């Protein structure tokens, strides 16, 4: 081995070792390795930051912003509020949620897809009286499987396409991964839905630590021109149940209606009195196109700045609201703030929300102009609750958000636009239409992943240019000497999959993809089957909670232990390899 190869192998070994140790965050480890490589001269100074402008890095960042836009627009509510039902059996629920998660993660980042569906799954489990741990792991695995199907579903596919363009002059297209990834995803989803969830260890003690969220007494009003006008209040029960909202009354002309409220035909300006969590309240509002206040107050609030946001505050005994109402203190005209709900430890609130005297210890749900939450909280004399990322769904822009995204996918698929350009145009359109507020544009990008990618790409390029990947491929070819092509592909998949189970799948892909190309060139065959094998294997990290971020996200809410994952994950990985190899040989022949 040359000096450069020794340095690079040592750096990669140190990176992998530190990632396994977990003491330092992966982006710091990767960036430190890049800086050391530059100082030692194995990465040219001119190329040190080339990874941050690499198409793969840009696409990952843009996909995260686009995913946030689809969430904020309420696009996913169209699916979940109509399909998810707590009365279904566990197996049927897992099959349905797995299918939804698989389809969503094919067209948006699979981490974002899980983050979107996880609260729905936890809420459904709570309503059904079962532990979320029975369904969260199948949901996580389903979103990982779905990401294999398209170019934008998971970062490894984006990286593979970019490496192919650098090495062979042309990237993979949007749906080039679909034949092999689709076969693996369908087989995996069938296993998860029919058998896999039964392998999750059942525990007598409830270990789920899913966050308990305050239930608020809140009001939503029927706006002018609403499709609900003339509908009986009782007819909304089904929608309320799906959103996990309790309808507890109706206010008309400032007076609460009791007894016959369920049979009342709704009129414009009526206020529904509800009990719900903030997320459930927003889902119900978006589903039925209700307003958070009278039209004049809501329009005034939205006109004050770049959109609105929801905050939660606890009223202290020094608050100016003590013994007063939101209306009397002038919360609306003084601070452009709307009181959406009050949580009072389960005690009943019989008056209109904005006419209810506030007490010390009350938790208030407030709708405020964006970026003014801290000022409003200080003015009230309250304390903010821990940030929970509450947002107001822009449900009036749902079809615009979907149309822009679908248009970009079609344009990229037919070659009309380069994928990063197409996604970039969607991001610009989302910002201009305020689907994604400008103030939140960069908060949705997972910067540690961007730093990891930007750091590892130059290191991977240096390993390839120094002959390191050729050396690794030579070892693997020697190991598989005399074996048939399918056996060679199987060894490559198993090695890549094993690395991905304990390392970040992005880092694994950057190392394994050039090795696959080199193996193909040494054998004198097409590199595409080897790249497809790496793409599927790098994504198929099911044995541990650290192999894929989705598995890490469910660790706490599901109450899992480290050793729980392999029980369903090991047979799933075997199935993925077993179905992927024949599919690769059929759709991407050597």
Q: Is the pLDDT of residue 208 over 50?
A: no
Beta pairing partners, 246: 275
* 414-447 tens-digit pLDDT: 778 887 888 899 999 999 988 888 877 888 787 8
Tell me how many degrees the CA angle 190-191-193 measures, rounded to the nearest 5: 65
Q: Which carries the bigger pLDDT value, residue 143 or residue 465?
A: 143
Q: How many helices (H) and strands (E) does the chain have?
A: 23, 8
Give residue for tokens 């615009």: 400
Selection from 280, 225, 294, 214 nearest residue 247 by Cα: 280
CA end-to-end span of the chain: 30
Q: What pLDDT score does 492 carry?
A: 92
Pick from 249, 173, 155, 171: nearest CA to 446: 155
CA distance 527 to 514: 10
Whether residue 273 has pLDDT greater than 90:
no
For residue 578, the model assigns a pLDDT of: 95
What is the predicted pLDDT for the residue at 35? 95
User: pLDDT: is 403 or 370 the higher one?
Assistant: 403
Give the closest residue to 510 by CA, choosing from 36, 30, 112: 30
Domains in the chain: ranges and CATH: 3-205+444-587 (no CATH), 212-291 (3.30.70.1450), 295-387 (3.30.70.1450)
Contact 403, 256 (CB under 8 A): no
Q: Quick check: helix, strand or coil at residue 341? A: strand
The tokens describing 398, both together, are: 């749902």
Going across the sheet that includes 255-257, the strands are 255-257, 246-252, 271-276, 216-221, 338-343, 363-369, 308-315, 382-384
Lowest-confidence segment of 191-195, 220-224, 380-384, 411-415 by average pLDDT: 411-415
Close Cβ partners of 240 (under 8 Å, ≥ 6 residues apart): 246, 247, 274, 284
Task: Report d(CA 206, CA 559) in Å as an integer.
Answer: 8
Residue 206 has pLDDT above 60, yes or no: no
Please indicate whether residue 216 or residue 22 has the higher confidence score (pLDDT).
216
Tell me, what's the pLDDT at 34?
Answer: 93
User: How would residue 530 be classed by pLDDT, with cut points 50, 70 and 90?
Assistant: very high
Beta bridge partners of 571: none
At 259, is the secondary structure helix, strand, or coil?
coil
Q: Please say if the pLDDT value at position 519 is more than 80.
A: yes
Assign 466 a pLDDT band (cuts: 50, 70, 90): confident
- Between 482 and 80, the more confident residue is 482
Mean pLDDT of 550-568: 78
Q: At what angle do helices 155-168 and 505-523 cross, to 10 degrees?
A: 40
Q: How confident is the model at residue 296 (pLDDT cuts 50, 70, 90)?
A: low
């Amino acid at each position: 081995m040359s000096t450069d190869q020794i340095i690079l192998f040592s750096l990669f070994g140190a990176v992998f070792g530190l990632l396994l140790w977990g003491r330092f965050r992966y982006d710091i480890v990767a960036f430190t390795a890049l800086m050391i490589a530059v100082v030692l001269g194995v990465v040219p100074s001119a190329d040190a930051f080339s990874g941050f402008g690499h198409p793969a890095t840009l696409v990952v960042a843009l996909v995260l912003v686009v995913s946030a836009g689809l969430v904020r627009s309420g696009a996913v509510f169209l699916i979940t509020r109509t399909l998810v039902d707590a009365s279904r059996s566990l197996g049927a629920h897992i099959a349905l949620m797995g299918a939804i998660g698989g389809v969503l993660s094919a067209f948006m980042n699979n981490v974002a897809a899980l983050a979107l569906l996880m609260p729905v799954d936890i809420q459904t489990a709570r309503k059904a009286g079962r532990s979320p741990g029975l369904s969260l792991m199948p949901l996580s695995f389903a979103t990982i499987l779905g990401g294999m199907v398209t170019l934008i579903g998971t970062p490894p596919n984006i990286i593979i396409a970019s490496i192919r363009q650098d090495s062979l002059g042309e990237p993979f297209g949007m749906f080039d991964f679909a034949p092999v990834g689709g076969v693996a995803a369908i087989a995996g989803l069938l296993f998860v839905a029919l058998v896999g969830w039964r392998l999750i260890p059942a525990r007598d003690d409830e270990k789920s630590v899913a966050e308990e969220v305050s239930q608020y007494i809140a009001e939503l009003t029927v706006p002018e021109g609403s499709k609900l006008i003339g509908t009986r209040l009782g007819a909304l029960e089904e929608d309320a149940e799906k959103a996990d909202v309790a309808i507890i009354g109706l206010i008309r002309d400032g007076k609460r209606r009791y007894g016959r409220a369920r049979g009342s035909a709704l009129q414009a300006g009526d206020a529904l009195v509800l009990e719900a969590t903030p997320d459930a309240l927003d889902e119900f509002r978006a589903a039925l196109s209700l307003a958070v206040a009278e039209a004049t107050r809501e329009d005034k609030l939205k006109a004050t700045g770049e959109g609105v946001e929801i905050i939660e505050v606890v009223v202290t005994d020094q608050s100016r609201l003590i013994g007063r109402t939101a209306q009397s203190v002038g919360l609306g005209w003084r601070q452009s703030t709307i009181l959406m709900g009050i949580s009072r430890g389960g005690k009943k609130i019989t008056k209109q929300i904005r006419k209810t005297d506030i007490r010390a210890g009350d938790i208030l749900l407030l709708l405020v102009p964006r970026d003014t939450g801290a000022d409003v909280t200080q003015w009230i004399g309250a304390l903010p609750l821990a940030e929970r990322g509450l947002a107001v769904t822009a449900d009036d822009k749902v079809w615009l958000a979907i149309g822009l995204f679908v248009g970009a996918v079609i344009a990229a698929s037919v070659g009309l636009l380069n994928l990063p350009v197409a996604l970039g145009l969607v991001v610009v359109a989302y910002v201009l239409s305020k689907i994604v507020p400008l103030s939140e544009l960069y908060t949705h990008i997972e910067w540690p992943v961007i730093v990891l990618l930007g750091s590892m790409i130059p290191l991977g390029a240096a390993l390839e240019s120094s002959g390191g990947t050729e050396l690794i491929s030579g070892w693997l070819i020697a190991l598989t000497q005399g074996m048939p092509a399918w056996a060679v592909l199987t060894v490559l998949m198993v090695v890549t999959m094993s690395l991905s189970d304990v390392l970040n799948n992005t880092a694994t892909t950057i190392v394994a993809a050039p090795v696959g190309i080199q193996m193909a060139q040494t054998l004198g065959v097409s590199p595409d089957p080897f790249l497809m094998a790496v793409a599927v294997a790098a994504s198929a990290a099911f044995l541990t909670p650290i192999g894929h971020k989705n598995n890490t996200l469910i660790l706490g809410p599901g109450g899992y232990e480290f050793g729980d994952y392999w029980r369903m994950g090991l047979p799933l990985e075997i199935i993925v390899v077993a179905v992927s190899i024949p599919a690769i040989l059929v759709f991407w022949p050597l």
